[in-house]
Amino acid sequence: MKIYNRDLKKVVDEVDTNAKSVQFLYNNFFGRIILKVATKPVISKINGVRYSKKRSAQIVPKFVLKNEIDMSEYPNKEYSSFNDFFTRKIIEEKRPISTKNSDLISPCDSLLTVYKINDDLTFNIKNSTYTVEELLKDTELARKYNNGYLLLFRLTVRDYHHYCYIDSGNRDEYKKIDGILHTVNPIACKKEKVYSENSREYTTLHLDNFGDVIQMEVGALMVGKIKNNESKTFKRGDEKGYFEFGASTIIMLFEPNKIKIDDDILLQSANDIEVRIKYGETIGKSLQK
């Protein structure tokens, strides 16, 4: 995978440790037979139970080594299960968050791609054309984001899987959309309309400095649950929730003329290169007066 590493200020090749298995599932006849079963939500629920058992903690050391996870960012502790490890809390100082009201921050560790929403409310991800209406299942709400931006934060298994509110404000009720659970790996995104087919939930955030922003959490293959907090009011940097096991995605929709994304991110997104960013990192500015 081609990734732009902002720390190194260059595009680097990053090894996808799951590429072979995903290639088999999506590009092989027998793999696609397995896929029909594997993408059903009940399979992820079964795995959620499995990874919550004490004996599942045995796979943690191998998982850390395979995925090159920097455990110096986390408290030194013994995990009670694999899911206890996967939902681990980071050392707070490792993810500083800007307190400047004008700074647009990332809600999570992820690989970020930014898309401009067209006049017809469409955008293209890995050769698949989506509409905002498909994502939201709400025509009237979708219209608010005509000519705005869609930010796609793709979390990999090596990332910290908690996510925060990007600004202070309040939110509407969550809307849950049932679906199946494809992997969000780019290989799958070239074959399936992953983001409009997967189970997901979203809410409208009424933010002090960025207007009305939709934040959507998308489930993925082997993700047990999306665990969102219930509080309806919040401050910048408060935890919004976390994902249990699996790679996952957060999608954010911004109205037109509300944000300016950093130029390096826009440049790499235009070249279909994902940008590695961290929870709380500044990725743009507010245009709201």
Burial code (b: 16+ CB inside 10 Å, e: under 16) for 254-274 equals bbeebbebbeebbebbeeebb
Strand-pairing partners, residue 154, are 111, 249
Among the listed residues 56, 81, 106, 248, the single catalytic one is: 248
> How far apart, in whole angstroms, are the C-alpha atoms of residue 268 and residue 2?
10
Q: Which of 82, 86, 79, 88 is nearest to 49 (CA)?
A: 82
Does residue 167 have an active-site annotation?
A: no
Q: In what order do the strands lie in the sheet with 226-228?
A: 162-164, 239-243, 226-228
Cα angle 16, 20, 24; round to 5:
140
Among the listed residues 103, 109, 159, 167, the single catalytic one is: 109
Does residue 248 have an active-site annotation?
A: yes
> Which helix (DSSP H) or strand (DSSP E) does residue 241 occupy?
strand 239-243
- Report phi then psi at 196, rounded to 5: -100, 0
Which are the catalytic amino acids?
Answer: 109, 248
